[in-house]
Chain A
């Protein structure tokens, strides 16, 4: 049952045109947790002087990963939409390295899922960014 749900969520996320455009790939998904990676791509550079990826691309990764975590939660019956998302940028991601986000639903009610996420490059001890968000729980 739960494995099916994870499979549906995986297919849905991989089907999103913008997630595809950014080259996002699901590393793992299930039980209110998701891990998604985005490769380094020169088209996503935000600061041409340093080659650091734009914060906007990191936001898109965080939002996708948060939504994926909600979709695969056992208590969330169907789709979800972001209500709000706050992202703290700790440092610029190292140019040339993929960015991987991990999100988990730390609390869910009938209407709202509360999500936390962390994004890292290859140096997993020093996060690039963290996020907290509220997502809708739909179809109940």
Chain B
């Protein structure tokens, strides 16, 4: 019995990081907000690097509620897209070089988005993770949570529904 040689670790990492980078850096708004993603295997953590322009109430000061909502929405969309293309770029069906040169997959469209503000966002970095609770062919449900100092004390959480891109190229 001939066993397939496992891929070298650098190749695996390079492919996954390139795919993630293509997905994230292609969206101007994510760059504008200063959001990046940490990756461990297929698990993503959104990182919101604090900047003064993210402040809502300067008297407190606190992160703008709209920033918190946007951060959760970005994390939800990227996590969902990432899960959606994972199999394809891992198997080679989706060419990572084509991805990197700007041939990005269609993104899911947000149908609705509900955010609960649990405590005020402090003027420092924030982190977020999304869980896909349902990944259907047409619709997906995603939950997301954001925290700062302590993951067990989230400052906001969100529930969202998305319309998945059609695979047959018709709208």
In the complex, which of the residues A48, A55, A88 contacts B28, with contact meaning CB atoms closer than 8 Å?
A: A48
Q: A18-B64, A18-B66, A63-B65 are in contact. Are A88 and B112 (CB under 8 A)?
A: yes
Q: Could you tell me if B53 and A21 are in contact, using CB atoms closer than 8 angstroms? A: yes
Binds A, one of B9-17, B68-76, B91-99, B129-137: B68-76
Q: Could you tell me if B113 and A82 are in contact, using CB atoms closer than 8 angstroms? A: no
Q: Could you tell me if A56 and B106 are in contact, using CB atoms closer than 8 angstroms? A: no
Q: Could you tell me if A59 and B113 are in contact, using CB atoms closer than 8 angstroms? A: yes
> Which residues does chain A contribute within 8 Å of B33, judged by CB atoms?
56
> Which residues does chain B contribute within 8 Å of A20, judged by CB atoms?
53
Q: For B66, B104, B107, which residue has the most chain A Cβ atoms within 10 angstroms?
A: B66
How many CB-defined contacts (below 8 Å) exist between A and B? 130
Complex Cα spacing A62 to B66, Å = 8
In the assembled complex, the CB of A107 is this many whole angstroms from the nearest CB of chain B, namely 19
Give 27 pairs: A residue, B residue, CB < 8 Å, sorted on A: A16-B57, A16-B64, A17-B64, A18-B66, A20-B53, A21-B54, A43-B31, A43-B32, A46-B28, A46-B29, A48-B27, A48-B28, A49-B107, A54-B30, A55-B110, A56-B69, A57-B70, A60-B64, A60-B67, A63-B69, A82-B115, A83-B116, A85-B117, A86-B113, A87-B114, A88-B111, A89-B112
Known contacts A46-B29, A54-B27, then 8 further A-B pairs from the complex at CB < 8 Å, ordered by chain A residue: A20-B53, A21-B53, A56-B73, A59-B73, A59-B113, A63-B69, A85-B69, A87-B69
